[in-house]
A and B are shown apart, each in its own frame.
Chain A
Amino acid sequence: MGRLTPDIGKTACRSAEARVFAVALGLGLSLLLQGCPTPYEWRHQDQWDSREQIWLSEESQVKLRAAQSRVFDSTDRRRTLEVIVDTMQDLGFMVEVLDEELGIVSGKRFEPLERPNIGTDPYYHLYDDQSLLIFTKSYLTWGPFWHRSDLVRLTITVRKRNETQLVVRASAQFYLRAVEDPEPYQKFFRTLEQALFLRAQTVE
């Protein structure tokens, strides 16, 4: 009897280990199978509801506006718009919307980002002689609205502040979210200042 007890203990311990192992394996497998197979896909979220987009903004509205806006001592709206288009071309943006009356310029650019390393990236096959559009996680489109994970969007508005000044506001979107960090905007306005030969002031 005295010799049997440690053997029983060892067997019990081994079966407990085996059970833990099986549970861990099961958990791991179920995690893999639940439809989130690669880190690349984890980074993409489905946003079915447009309200989610609006509520995504984390910074206070006033702070964000101050970071995105600058005042220029100029009344020449057309020249300002032209210089904005030039600056966007310098930055590699493709201009998509340009309205002088409303003072809006919008454009897009693609950032070099990671790609799934398994298989081909389907967004390249937008249109070939056999098929129409292919909808994937990295290329979604609904009429004029479409999204790609590497897409940077930029909208600039120009409006009159008073008799001698204009307010220029830039807002960028990256990876579906509004860019709220002030630094990219500072760099953008520095470039714009150089192109306009004017000094920008922050909005008070």
Chain B
Amino acid sequence: MSHTMRAISGMIVIAGAWFLQGCAAPEPSQDLLAPTEAQMKLRSFQSRTFDVKDRQLAMRGVIAVLQDLGFIIERANEPLGLVTAARFAEPNFYDVLGVTVTVRQQQEGRMLIRANAIYNNKPIEDPKVYQNFFAALERSLFIAKE
């Protein structure tokens, strides 16, 4: 076989392989709906209990703190204790920051509040962010109780 023919057949093989790998859509992984180790660890940073008896008061506190932080409330469901909110993030305001907060009645007089936040497409894993959020929430609940 001449050099040209060899080069052509080589090109066809490469083009064929490229073509085939390009057209296959990725298959969902088996663990698509399974929790990962990192997610379970994150859960403890994301949850905190507060000494609040009234669930509605806790919801109001959550909404107020989200407003304080510049979020726009997207949905709030009082009976099931869910608030979701989003905002554009500093400095350029084209990144999106989304947050989901749930409020659950624990034993008498305690309220479990859990927040999880995503930045564009990635969950926020820095515990400091959640600490700041809960510190602001604590202040907000304190004001609401007054």
Contact = CB atoms under 8 A, between A and B. Distances in A.
B128 interface: no
A111 B32 CA distance: 9
B44 to A, nearest CB: 11
Interface stretch (A58-66, A159-167, A176-184): A176-184
Contact of A89 (B2, B12, B96, B100): B100
Contacts of B96: 126
Given A24-B12, A92-B39, A98 B26 contact: no
Nearest to B24: A43
B143 interface: no
Interface in B51-91: 75, 77, 79-82, 84, 88
Given A17-B2, A90-B39, A42 B23 contact: yes
Contacts of B13: none
Which DSSP category, helix, strand, loop or mixed, fits chain A's interface? mixed
A176 B27 CA distance: 11
Nearest to B105: A82
A81 B80 contact: yes
A18 B7 CA distance: 12
B122 A187 contact: no
Contacts, number: 138
B1 to A, nearest CB: 10
A20 B21 contact: no
Contacts of A127: 88, 93-94
A135 interface: no
B25 to A, nearest CB: 5
B116 to A, nearest CB: 5
A148 B79 CA distance: 32
A100 B82 CA distance: 12
A124 B118 contact: no
Contact of B40 (A17, A90, A184): A90
B121 interface: yes
A16 B87 CA distance: 65
Interface in A173-203: 174-175, 177, 179, 181, 183-185, 187-188, 190-191
A90 B43 contact: yes
Given A20-B4, A98-B82, A148-B121, 9 more contacts: A85-B80, A89-B46, A94-B84, A96-B84, A100-B80, A175-B26, A184-B33, A187-B33, A191-B33
8 contacts: A92-B118, A96-B75, A100-B77, A110-B118, A113-B26, A127-B88, A172-B32, A174-B28
Interface of B: 2, 4-5, 8, 11-12, 15, 18, 21-35, 39-40, 43, 46, 75, 77, 79-82, 84, 88, 92-96, 98, 100, 102, 104, 114, 116, 118, 120-123
